[in-house]
Amino acid sequence: MSAAVGSPLRPAPAAHHRRTGRAGAVTLRCSKVAAALAAPVLDDLRLQCATPLPLLRHVAAAMAAGMRVGLAADGAGELKMIPSYVYSLPTGSETGLFYALDLGGTNFRVLRVQLGGKDRRVVDTESEQVSIPKEIMHGTTEELFDFIAARLSNFVAKEGGNFHLQEGRKREIGFTFSFPVKQTSIDSGILIKWTKGFSVSGTAGKDVVACLNAAMERQGLDMSVSALVNDTVGALAGAHYWDEDVMVAVILGTGTNACYIERTESIPKLQHLGLGTGNTIINTEWGAFSDGLPLTEFDRDMDAESINPGEQIFEKTISGMYLGEIVRRVLAKMAQESDLFGHSFSDKLAEPFVLRTPHLCAMQQDNSDHLGEVESILRDIIGVNQSSLAARRFILEVSDCVIKRGGRLAGAGIAGILQKMENDSKGLILGRRTVVAMDGGLYENYPQYRSYMVEAMAELLGPRDMEHIVVEHTKDGSGIGAALLAAANSKYAGAQLSA
């Protein structure tokens, strides 16, 4: 997953705003004149964020076309369409003790799961989360992986209760690694670059599985990595374990990504491997998609000031990292052009990323007559000490425009994946029950976003096909999914089936 990185904007030049009285203090209420002056900004936003059905159709078709281009050859299009090298999905017959390590940010998580086969499935799970010190995030490769292996060793030492390793077996672990890698097999992958605030020296160009295996060996930990997975791939595997109709997994959180089950014969760039017929999971890296997206001046300005201008446009339009910032930029323009929040301009409103997507969600759940929650967030987060009811309603309108566009575009992306699968399989996907597994805080916690996403899918697929589509939340699927993929790709897999 192309997760959003830390410090998403480069420092911008200091802006000069109109202020009266004490700096940052906003005390005047919105007048009818101010509302009238703010209205054109809102009208333009509505127009530029509009996602009518023809536009959604174009986005879905472009997504499907981009997938085909990416499957044809590496680097051929916007969508990387990265093979996961997962050819064996969990079936429920797996038995034994397996571990997972999830490294994707400033914390990492270790997990163990005892599998009991078809009858008992997941017997028990335990997990721990560990914070990574900043000096480790900016240290050397050995320092980082030794730190991880030491904490993993401590976790393994607490093994007991329902957890037991079968005699004669070595512990195996699934490694969820949510940084850009060029995967070369199910248990190897070369780091392309660190993101998310990491600047560990000496790792780029190295196999991260070999780095972890070496660190575990230095710790005297008898364990090896049997599956390297992206978090979206892990989410699909975890959901598929419980429901074999899961064909697509999407993460909508701080960042976003999607993966799906593809037929190996439909992947031209893998034909030299002689895989024959079968299935594998493809990681789309759909955050890089940009064809036909409805963008505003606020999107373009945010992108231009970002650390990766011109990249990850779909992610910047639909994911939780950016939605609040887009709304902040709209409100800043309204405040400057219309005195929406009085004759002063709040210092806080000029701060990039001060308004976050959870704030938008909290405001949109405010059903009170006076919109008290909106008023509190304006005061506490962006420094607007007094606001009129009219101003608070404007903020909800702006938020809804941005959230509606994001949710509907996400829905169009999912529909594009399903339509591509349907066309390639000659009608074998949409005519039967097909599950889309969803994970991530944005999807889980933002009901309006969720509704707009499903609404767009229904418009594109139509009532007959949508009847067969199940959109299902799979909380924290990527963690257990990595352990399940370690089990499915275990060197003892044959023994498990005969156990």
- Show which residues are catalytic: 196, 231
DSSP assignment of 149-167, as one string? Answer: HHHHHHHHHT--TT--PPT
Q: What letter does residue 309 receive in the DSSP assignment?
A: T
d(CA 303, CA 9): 8
Residues composing the chain:
499
Q: What letter does residue 383 receive in the DSSP assignment?
A: -
Question: Which residue is listed with tokens 């890089």?
Answer: 288
Burial-class residue 126 by CB neighbours within 10 Å (0-12, 13-18, 19+). Answer: middle
- Amino acid type, 334: M
Q: What letter does residue 4 receive in the DSSP assignment?
A: P
C-alpha distance from residue 254 to each of 396, 441, 493 (Å)? 21, 8, 35
Pairing outcome for strands 434-439 and 469-473: parallel
d(CA 149, CA 130): 12
Taking each continuous run of H as one helix and of E as one strand, the counts in the chain are 17, 13
Q: Residue 23, Cβ neighbours under 10 Å: how many?
A: 11
Angle subtended by helix axes 32-49 and 389-424, to nearest 10: 0
